[in-house]
Amino acid sequence: MKKISTIVLGLLLLASSVFTSCESVKNTSNQQRGVAIGAVGGAVLGGILGNNIGKGGNGALGAVLGGVIGGVAGGVIGTKMDKQAREIQTALPGAQVERVGEGIRLVLGENAVRFDTNKSTLTSAAKNNLDKLIPVFKQYPDTNIQIYGYTDSTGSAEYNLNLSNQRAAAVQVYLAGKGLKDARFQTTGLGIADPIATNDTPEGRTQNRRVEFAITANDKMVQDAQKEAGK
């Protein structure tokens, strides 16, 4: 992380010198220059974050969460995501909540969203935990929610890919049935890909049977943030 910070700082300083010396921007306000410089740094940082998430075994989420708006608008979105992340953690303490760029990575392990063996039907425990998240999702309607389903490595890759698709879809159907707009969701089954633990032990396989969410700003949130940044 220190290395990342050093790289970004250097790029920000370079961007600052370019913007402040360029004749075409000498008449712009400090805020306008800050937004431009921030956008450069944000784009670079987003690429680094996305790349690092991909290296960590979560390439699909990295592609979604790696891109950032940057600048003042990005800061506005980030503040809202900070608050939402805290509320998710409060609502469901067992979940793994991680702020990435201007989005949120939410990992629900088997203890949070449990499926019976070889089935995609949500158990009563899974429904109970999802119910805890619904009020937070409703409080922040201007977000898109990408749902990723995963399995352990038991069975064929083809079978697990299909099962993971069904599990991700089951979560979407349940959340939509509780009043969340279906258009907010996209689902992806990744099967045995991107394990977060070893598949050589029962404990590791339990961790790999999970559902992950990538929560990002929708177009309305981005537009509202840009308007707020322009004030």
Q: What distance in Å separates the CA atoms of residue 57 and residue 36, rounded to the nearest whole number?
A: 32
Q: Categorize the per-residue pLDDT at 122 as very low, low, confident or very high, splitting at 50, 70 and 90.
A: confident
Q: Which residue has the higher pLDDT, 102 or 34?
A: 102
Percent of the chain whose pLDDT exceeds 90: 47
Q: What does the pLDDT read at residue 40?
A: 42
Nearest Cα to Cα of residue 137 among 167, 171, 100, 101: 171
pLDDT digits (tens, 9 = 90+) for 132-145: 999 999 999 999 99
Q: Which residue has the higher pLDDT, 32 or 115?
A: 115
Q: Categorize the per-residue pLDDT at 159 as very low, low, confident or very high, splitting at 50, 70 and 90.
A: very high
Q: What does the pLDDT read at residue 46?
A: 44
Q: What does the pLDDT read at residue 29?
A: 40
Q: Which residue has the higher pLDDT, 50 or 129?
A: 129
In the numeric block, which tokens belong to residue 200?
A: 């050589």
Mean pLDDT, residues 40-56: 43
Q: Which residue has the higher pLDDT, 9 or 148?
A: 148
What does pLDDT average to over the chain?
77
Q: Which residues pair with 188 in a beta bridge?
A: 148
CB 126 within 8 A of CB 114: yes
pLDDT digits (tens, 9 = 90+) for 164-214: 999 999 999 999 999 999 999 999 999 999 998 999 998 888 888 888 999
**β strands within the chain, DSSP E:** 96-100, 103-108, 143-149, 185-189, 211-217
User: Residue 11 above 50 pLDDT?
Assistant: no
Strand order in the sheet with 96-100: 96-100, 103-108, 211-217, 143-149, 185-189
Percent of the chain whose pLDDT exceeds 70: 67
Q: Which residues pair with 217 in a beta bridge?
A: 143
User: Residue 35 above 80 pLDDT?
Assistant: no
User: Residue 21 above 70 pLDDT?
Assistant: no
Q: What does the pLDDT read at residue 44?
A: 41
Mean pLDDT, residues 82-105: 92
Q: What does the pLDDT read at residue 206?
A: 82
Q: What distance in Å separates the CA atoms of residue 98 and residue 112, rounded to the nearest whole number?
A: 16
Q: What does the pLDDT read at residue 101?
A: 86
Mean pLDDT, residues 51-68: 54
